[in-house]
Amino acid sequence: MSIHPFDAVKDYEVRLAAKLVKDSYPASANVHFCQIDRFDPPKEDMKKYIIAEREGLPLPRISRVLYCYYYTNTTEFNKALVNVTAGHVITKVQQPKGVVGPFLPDDVIEMEEYIMKHPIVLQEIEKLKLPKGYQVRNDPWIYATDDPNEKRNLIQFYMYVLAGNGHSESNHYSLPLKFSPVFEQFTKKFVRMDYLPGGFDHTTVPTQPWQQVPCAEYHPDLNGESERPGIKPLLIQQPDGPSFTVRGNKISWQGWEFRVSPTAREGFACYDGWFKGRQVFYRISLSEMTVPYGDPRAPYHRKQAFDLGDVGFGMGGNKLALGCDCLGHIKYFDGMGIHGNGEPYIIPNTVCMHEQDDGLLYKHVNYRNDNAVVARRRIFIVQTIATVANYEYIINLKFANDGLIDIEARATGILSTMPIDQDVKVPWGTIVAPNCMAAYHQHILSFRIDPAVDGHKNSVVYDDAVKLPKHPVDNPYGIGFVTDRHFVEKAGHIEQAPFKNRTYKILNENVINPIAKTPVGYKVQMPARQMLLADRDSFNARRAKFATEQIWVTKYRDGELYAAGEFTQQSQKDTGLAVWANGVDNVRNDDIVVWATMGFTHIPRVEDFPVMPVEIHNIQLVPANFWDKNPALDLPQATNAFNKSVLVQSEEEKSCCKSRI
């Protein structure tokens, strides 16, 4: 089968691109890659391609292009675009000083190991006078930004005691230390030793012998828990196989058709979505996530991760396992990582796909005779899970059998912790274990929705539900309410207004619903949330303008994929929505992109430690006057002949051997 323009990057493409880039430099330039992936094909070409594909016409030829991020001469950061179909480098641009690429996992691990042998670090560790069986472990952290003049590529290392008598899975996050070295990447130069406060304010003290406290362990080998009894298998059996088919990267399921492509930066992108023969979207993906912390003390004020731009969500993609990360009949796609030399490697099973039953979809009972109609909601889930050092993020794109799409994020993993002295409390954190504090922080995710509601010319409106004024004839009892529609004309954001029931819709004004007599559309449904708490003039806000508003609309342009801009590590400002949401571009009845911000302020609970039960957040895309009736009327009625459920008896019924049904 020939390659599709939306197929994920292939290993031979990565090799070719890396070779072409390397060959374009002298060997002495020492080309060192940090990310290589497919560059999205031009949309104008793909519009023609999609039409030809659906109509069975000859397909236009579309070149496969890869982007390569790499360093030359140790510290010069470059970006190249490479046409791997034609076999040539399209452009090569050395980025301005201070622009830093995403971390390559190999490089971070190398630094993590390197600093543990560095004499200055060893000297601090020595001062801890650790008891036997205890070691030190570090977590490299993105350095973030507090200085407009900083041009070096820096890493901050947070240091922890590793208990557990050498058990690799001991929870070092429970035992944070009070020194934190900073090194320069690549040159490996020691920059500075930061000392961390233990009290209420920013006061620090030189490293003292470590005061032994119990470690809050999560691993079953170490956590001291006896296994909770009584949980019995609950098996998802699909005797006739799954209801979906996979051809190349194209999924077909219950009227839905779309393509899934794992990517280095986003985890995966979903392309070219149709439901029951009508076009719904061009591309949906997570676009960026920023995680700023609220502890104002140095160096914590620099804790602001951009989990896509700084590392790559796909680069932290988990190797998902049957029966662990999802149940039932599972199809996996692999991701692709690279080494510094440009050699690719497979990240197996980084995206999983499966079906779930999701309760009732609709029901009605005619009370006159008890006749019931009932159909069940089935969903198809595309899932990826990324580990970003301590945290895990589960991203689910769920397609429902009534045309709804649910974008779900589940946050789990381990809190990023700070040392705290005994008997101290701070107003910006929760004590989650002895001498261990988890600072308040926010997770602000931008989902990029490139809609194609019955075609590419779409508009965005918001509808408010507002009272009708009381009026002796028109509203004598003061109970009337109506909706008030506002069109978004120019690229920008829409303010939240939950008390007006503000509802965002993507419409196609060129297609009128024959029943409702209004434009066809999809709702973007999400609860109102607190956005970025940092001051508007702070680095946190300047670097993540996307995180300050809950929904944005921009005019579509090729290459505008990432909400905070292309290069986020140690960025000084947002070069994404801050630029594109310019108040100038027309976004009405045009090719547009909608950016939905999902935010949650995380005030840690003790229950979130040592490993967090998921916190779940959702954004839904819901057909709204898109169809001329419920599009799920063609579902079969739910019956036990099909679903084979089983009646349970109470203990009394069991003991007297009688059945009540």
Residues noted as catalytic: 307, 391
* Nearest to its own copies of 92, 377 (CB atom): 377
Binder among 477, 583, 657, 658 for its own copies (CB under 8 A): 477
Please tell me whether residue 473 binds its own copies under the rule CB under 8 A. Answer: yes
Binder among 156, 180, 185, 304 for its own copies (CB under 8 A): 304
Question: The dihedral of CA 316, 320, 324, 326: what is its sign?
Answer: positive
Please tell me whether residue 331 binds its own copies under the rule CB under 8 A. Answer: yes
* Nearest to its own copies of 247, 486 (CB atom): 247
Please tell me whether residue 150 binds its own copies under the rule CB under 8 A. Answer: no
* Strands (DSSP E) found in 25-64: 32-39
Stretch that binds its own copies, among 52-60, 87-95, 126-134, 478-486 (CB under 8 A): 478-486
Please tell me whether residue 241 binds its own copies under the rule CB under 8 A. Answer: yes
Point out which residues pair with 288 in neighbouring strands: 446
Stretch that binds its own copies, among 38-46, 181-189, 214-222, 447-455 (CB under 8 A): 214-222
Measure the CA–CA gap between 459 and 505, rounded to whole angstroms: 8
Please tell me whether residue 213 binds its own copies under the rule CB under 8 A. Answer: no
Please tell me whether residue 195 binds its own copies under the rule CB under 8 A. Answer: no
- Residues 72-131 binding its own copies (CB under 8 A) are 105, 109, 112
Measure the CA–CA gap between 594 and 555, rounded to whole angstroms: 9
Indicate the DSSP class of residue 489: -
- Residues 274-293 binding its own copies (CB under 8 A) are 292-293
Please tell me whether residue 656 binds its own copies under the rule CB under 8 A. Answer: no
Stretch that binds its own copies, among 25-33, 191-199, 486-494, 535-543 (CB under 8 A): 535-543
Please tell me whether residue 169 binds its own copies under the rule CB under 8 A. Answer: yes
Q: Shortest approach of its own copies to residue 384 CB, angstroms? A: 12
* Nearest to its own copies of 66, 264 (CB atom): 264
CA nearest 551: which of 492, 490, 486, 508? 492
Q: Shortest approach of its own copies to residue 146 CB, angstroms? A: 6
Structure tokens at 639: 């019956």
Compute φ and ψ for 578, nearest 5 degrees.
-60, -30
Please tell me whether residue 589 binds its own copies under the rule CB under 8 A. Answer: no
Q: Shortest approach of its own copies to residue 33 CB, angstroms? A: 20
CA nearest 549: which of 530, 569, 567, 568? 530
Measure the CA–CA gap between 265 and 289, rounded to whole angstroms: 11
Is 298 in a helix, a strand, or coil?
coil
Please tell me whether residue 610 binds its own copies under the rule CB under 8 A. Answer: yes
Binder among 308, 418, 452, 533 for its own copies (CB under 8 A): 533
Residue 298 CB: number of other CB atoms within 10 A? 15
Q: How far is CA 17 from CA 29, 40, 326, 375, 407, in A?
A: 17, 15, 35, 50, 33
- Residues 398-417 binding its own copies (CB under 8 A) are 400-404, 410, 412-414
Binder among 530, 558, 559, 582 for its own copies (CB under 8 A): 530
Binder among 118, 151, 219, 490 for its own copies (CB under 8 A): 219
Measure the CA–CA gap between 211 and 387, rounded to whole angstroms: 30
Q: Shortest approach of its own copies to residue 43 CB, angstroms? A: 27
Q: Shortest approach of its own copies to residue 325 CB, angstroms? A: 7
Binder among 51, 52, 57, 528 for its own copies (CB under 8 A): 528
Please tell me whether residue 446 binds its own copies under the rule CB under 8 A. Answer: no
* Nearest to its own copies of 234, 584 (CB atom): 234
Measure the CA–CA gap between 76 and 67, rounded to whole angstroms: 17
Stretch that binds its own copies, among 115-123, 183-191, 245-253, 446-454 (CB under 8 A): 245-253
* Nearest to its own copies of 86, 482 (CB atom): 482
DSSP 157-198: EEEEEE-GGG-TT--GGGSB-SEEEEEETTT--EEEEEE---
Q: What is the dihedral of CA 65, 66, 69, 70, to 10 degrees?
A: -100
Indicate the DSSP class of residue 218: -
CA nearest 590: which of 460, 426, 435? 460
Distant-in-sequence, close-in-space partners of 128: CB < 8 Å, separation ≥ 6: 136, 161, 177, 207, 208, 209, 210
Distant-in-sequence, close-in-space partners of 464: CB < 8 Å, separation ≥ 6: 483, 484, 486, 497, 500, 501, 502, 503
- Residues 249-278 binding its own copies (CB under 8 A) are 253-255
* Nearest to its own copies of 332, 447 (CB atom): 332
Q: Shortest approach of its own copies to residue 633 CB, angstroms? A: 5
Residue 331 · residue 352 · CB < 8 Å: yes
Residue 454 CB: number of other CB atoms within 10 A? 19
Structure tokens at 661: 């049904």
Helix or strand (DSSP H, E) at 280: strand 278-292
Q: Shortest approach of its own copies to residue 242 CB, angstroms? A: 6
* Nearest to its own copies of 38, 172 (CB atom): 172
Please tell me whether residue 189 binds its own copies under the rule CB under 8 A. Answer: no
Residue 177 · residue 161 · CB < 8 Å: yes
* Nearest to its own copies of 324, 584 (CB atom): 324
Measure the CA–CA gap between 460 and 507, rounded to whole angstroms: 6
Please tell me whether residue 637 binds its own copies under the rule CB under 8 A. Answer: yes
Binder among 46, 264, 269, 433 for its own copies (CB under 8 A): 433
Please tell me whether residue 500 binds its own copies under the rule CB under 8 A. Answer: yes
Site track 338-377 with its own copies (rule: CB under 8 A), x = hit: ----------xx---xxxxx-xxxxxxxxxxxxxxxx-xx
